[in-house]
Homo-oligomer: A and B are copies of this chain.
Amino acid sequence: MRIASFRRALGLAAILLSTAPLAVQAQTKADSVAIRRIYDEALAHGESYENLRYLTGQIGARLSGSAQAGQAVQWGQTTMEKIGLDRVYLQEVMVPHWVRGTREKAQIKGDKGKGLALSVCALGGSVGTSGKLQARVIEVQSLAELAALPADKVKGRFVFFNRPMNPLYIETGQAYGEAGDQRRSGAAAAARRGAVGALVRSLTLAHDDFPHTGAMRYEDGVPQVPAAALSTNGADKLSQLLKADPGLTVELEMSCQTLPDVKSYNVVGEIRGSKYPEEIITVGGHLDSWDLGQGAHDDGTGCTQSMEVLRLLKATGLRPERTVRAVLFMNEENGVRGGNQYAALAKAANEKHLAAMESDGGGFTPRGFNIEAEPATVRKIQGWQPLFVPYNSTEFAVGHAGTDVEPLKGQVKALIGFDCDSQRYFDIHHTAADTFDKVNRRELELGGASMAALIYLISKYGL
């Protein structure tokens, strides 16, 4: 049992009011009322949760180039049209088409643990094994450790990258960023030293049996060798068995392959600004997802929240003075072709972009925003932070905004990343466990409301 807490409410807004000039006080009060209307609409009548239920349940995983990605484009367009926007349209873009295939397994061959299955999945972009690939294993903690090994320790083997994510960071994204080089570049680094493949510890702080996929890259002039992620439990097991039997071998079989590029689309919907229609504010998430799970927190939540921003502005009658555009970007996961295309088209059309906000860290309880902009612009945005105190979403920090809006850098005054609680995200990220049931309705709707509130302020005051 827990008794109610009686507190907070409009504390800081009240302080702001008491010390500011009267005209500013009136504006602040009006903004505070407008934002409360946005949150009320989201909490009482929010639609992002039910939209997400459909996207994850009826369409499901939607890797670029897949039939489901095509269905998701249709769904995004239809769903935006229902909001009653001024314009909904598609932006064509060619995307990679990698497929996992039907075979994906690994087992240990050796005296100890013989026949033990390892929970693995191919990393996105990997070549397959052309039948079964059996080899000895050399374990390393880093790309640097691999580079320093003598050639005979690597040649003909699997390189097993087993550096865990650092649990000491408070924000899990920092640990993910630091450990990611193994997944992205491990296979190329291994192949350069003559290895036959790469086995990479999953990028998660959880201890479980889910392998986490994610993008990897080959390098020109270096042989393309298969790369697989091991679950953290599997990686721990393999490491333990290697200590007992350094000569053990692993047998890997994967039937993944890359097919020719496919035509796909970003989905765009916009409310035209009432005063400055030529000034554009973008808000988006990515429509594609990895092929495991349902792409719920990554990034169905960002898509449904971005569309919800437009719906909230419509439903509350808060017509923006500048144009607000929701974009469902295609192909964030393995190419960022949609994000690049959006920025290229904006540049070609000489569009004036004020801000671009991205939600791609899950649909958990909002904490604030990460801002990339000139210091004066950062300060201007941080000046609105007191209006978010009643909603406990007050961390207006300088930090990375997101992968899909990043190509706009140089064309936009501010890149903004929606920031939410990060503790659970990497437990499910890029796995079969990224499913609708992991999303909490209120957390999701609160996130959409906080995004809409900041976008409303930018649309009113500019940057």
Using a CB–CB cutoff of 8 Å, the interface residues on chain A facing chain B are 1-8, 39-40, 43-44, 167-168, 170-178, 205-206, 214-215, 298, 332-333, 360-362, 365, 367, 370, 390-392, 395, 397-400, 402-403, 417, 419, 421, 423-425, 427, 429-430, 440-443, 446
14 pairs, CB–CB < 8 Å, chain A vs chain B: A2-B425, A4-B171, A4-B175, A4-B178, A4-B400, A5-B399, A6-B174, A44-B167, A167-B442, A172-B442, A367-B392, A423-B446, A424-B440, A424-B443
Q: Which of B39, B214, B367, B417 contacts A170 (CB 8 A)?
A: B39
Known: A395-B392, A446-B423. Contact between A171 and B5, CB under 8 A? yes
**Separation in Å of the A170 CB from the closest CB of chain B?**
5
- Whether the pair B1, A360 counts as a contact (CB closer than 8 A) is yes
Q: A1-B333, A2-B403 are in contact. List 11 more A-B contacts (CB 8 A).
A: A1-B332, A1-B403, A1-B430, A2-B402, A4-B171, A5-B370, A7-B397, A170-B391, A365-B421, A365-B423, A424-B440
Question: For the complex, what is the distance from the CA of A298 to the CA of B3, rounded to whole Å?
Answer: 13
Question: For the complex, what is the distance from the CA of A361 to the CA of B441, rounded to whole Å?
Answer: 19
Question: For the complex, what is the distance from the CA of A39 to the CA of B168, rounded to whole Å?
Answer: 8
Closest partner residue, chain B, to A178 (CB atom): B4
Question: For the complex, what is the distance from the CA of A156 to the CA of B417, rounded to whole Å?
Answer: 59
Question: For the complex, what is the distance from the CA of A77 to the CA of B199, rounded to whole Å?
Answer: 45
- Whether the pair A440, B419 counts as a contact (CB closer than 8 A) is no
Which residues from chain B contact A177 at a C-beta distance below 8 Å? 3-4, 6
- Whether the pair A360, B167 counts as a contact (CB closer than 8 A) is no
Which residues from chain B contact A398 at a C-beta distance below 8 Å? 7
Which residues from chain B contact A440 at a C-beta distance below 8 Å? 423-424, 427
Known: A421-B421, A423-B443, A424-B440. Contact between A168 and B4, CB under 8 A? no
Known: A43-B168, A424-B440, A440-B423. Contact between A360 and B7, CB under 8 A? no
Known: A423-B442, A446-B423. Contact between A167 and B5, CB under 8 A? no
**Separation in Å of the A375 CB from the closest CB of chain B?**
14
Q: Which of B5, B360, B419 contacts A417 (CB 8 A)?
A: B5
Question: For the complex, what is the distance from the CA of A430 to the CA of B2, rounded to whole Å?
Answer: 11
Closest partner residue, chain B, to A404 (CB atom): B1
Which residues from chain B contact A333 at a C-beta distance below 8 Å? 1
- Whether the pair A173, B424 counts as a contact (CB closer than 8 A) is no
Question: For the complex, what is the distance from the CA of A298 to the CA of B430, rounded to whole Å?
Answer: 31
Which residues from chain B contact A205 at a C-beta distance below 8 Å? 442
Closest 9 CB pairs of A and B: A4-B177, A7-B399, A5-B399, A2-B361, A4-B173, A7-B397, A4-B174, A423-B442, A43-B167
Closest partner residue, chain B, to A40 (CB atom): B168
- Whether the pair A1, B215 counts as a contact (CB closer than 8 A) is yes
Which residues from chain B contact A178 at a C-beta distance below 8 Å? 4
Question: For the complex, what is the distance from the CA of A419 to the CA of B5, rounded to whole Å?
Answer: 10
**Separation in Å of the A291 CB from the closest CB of chain B?**
14
Which residues from chain B contact A391 at a C-beta distance below 8 Å? 170
**Separation in Å of the A416 CB from the closest CB of chain B?**
12
Which residues from chain B contact A443 at a C-beta distance below 8 Å? 423-424
Question: For the complex, what is the distance from the CA of A6 to the CA of B402, rounded to whole Å?
Answer: 12
**Separation in Å of the A19 CB from the closest CB of chain B?**
19
**Separation in Å of the A54 CB from the closest CB of chain B?**
17
Q: Which of B44, B168, B174, B332 contacts A168 (CB 8 A)?
A: B44
Question: For the complex, what is the distance from the CA of A400 to the CA of B171, rounded to whole Å?
Answer: 28
Which residues from chain B contact A5 at a C-beta distance below 8 Å? 171, 173-174, 370, 397, 399-400, 417, 419
Closest partner residue, chain B, to A3 (CB atom): B400
Q: Which of B6, B332, B402, B403 contacts A399 (CB 8 A)?
A: B6
Which residues from chain B contact A168 at a C-beta distance below 8 Å? 39-40, 43-44
Which residues from chain B contact A392 at a C-beta distance below 8 Å? 170-171, 367, 395
Question: For the complex, what is the distance from the CA of A126 to the CA of B440, rounded to whole Å?
Answer: 32
**Separation in Å of the A104 CB from the closest CB of chain B?**
21
Which residues from chain B contact A7 at a C-beta distance below 8 Å? 370, 397-399
- Whether the pair A214, B1 counts as a contact (CB closer than 8 A) is yes
